[in-house]
Amino acid sequence: MPASRAQVDLREVADLHENILRWYSRHARALPWRDAETTPWGVFVSEVMAQQTPVARVEPVWLSWMQRWPTPAHLAAESPGEVVRAWGRLGYPRRALRLREAAVAIVEVHDGRVPADEETLRTLPGVGAYTAAAVAAFAFGRRTTVVDTNVRRVLARLVEGREQAAPALTAAESALAASVVPADAPTSATWNVAVMELGALVCKARAPQCEQCPVLERCAWVQSGRPAHEGPVRRGQAWHGTDRQVRGAVLQLLRDAPRALSRTALADAGPDAAQLDRCIASLIEDGLVEPVAGTRFRLPH
């Protein structure tokens, strides 16, 4: 039978802590925002950028941003269009606007300093439960519970004996994650990132590297014979031919252009005229594109 949450006693939790934290100390990726000299603002930027985006794509953009806008005040003083342009191909470009809006709020409400507690962090534009917990933990060493898809998958396999987590975060998953967080605040912050790293590098959604797992002998999923997932699976989003692809193509054309472009100049962004018009309209509504005299378009000023 798969392990249940009730079966994770204090002794087992202590063993998980020891083995996973030791593994992390040896195998953690040397990401720039993990450097001890990184400011809370640098951590904040990294967490916003890394949502639904591979770390390999985030790193060069993060380095560029931190050189250009090393503090919230620097970003708050920049135009929205330049922020969208610098976001490049990270995807979900509304995050760029929300990040700038958060910088403005940090400057105007918090004297230019990133808040340290989750409740206050969640008042910032675009900041939800995950980002608030991650910044509190990784920038300030606060004891909290950081739950992303990697953490959910690791705990589903390790503790509950399930190959995959639920399609969306459940209250039970949140409670399970909270129940295994170390009591000591600094250790808890390292634990949160260590479990995330284990999911990213070893306990992958597809082709998990079980032989490299530091807690293989305690994995309920492995012990039960690695049963296949029987429930619904969170599906990846389609890309080719979608409005997301066309919106991205429109933004890239505008990023590359020295001046506003006509509707005709944007025609290459999508083969379907109605879809292109719909995407331009949605970009305007989202504040990512600005019409000029009704016939030309540019990034927002």
Evaluate whether 15 touches 219 at the Cβ level (below 8 Å).
no
User: Sheet containing 296-298: which strands, arranged edge to edge?
Assistant: 261-262, 296-298, 290-292
Q: What is the four-CA torsion angle of 7, 182, 121, 41, rounded to 10 degrees?
A: -130
Cα gap 101→120, rounded to integer Å? 15
Evaluate whether 39 touches 205 at the Cβ level (below 8 Å).
no
Q: Are strands 261-262 and 290-292 parallel, antiparallel or unpaired?
A: unpaired
Evaluate whether 145 touches 174 at the Cβ level (below 8 Å).
yes
Options 12, 18, 37, 47, the catalytic residue? 47
Cα gap 234→266, rounded to integer Å? 34
CA atoms within 13 A on the CB side of 266: 30
Residue count (the chain): 301
Cα gap 282→158, rounded to integer Å? 43
Helix (H) or strand (E) holding 15: helix 10-27
Evaluate whether 252 touches 187 at the Cβ level (below 8 Å).
no
Sequence-distant (≥ 6) Cβ neighbours of residue 165 within 8 angstroms: 149, 152, 153, 155, 156, 173
Is 47 a residue of the active site?
Answer: yes
Which are the catalytic amino acids?
Answer: 47
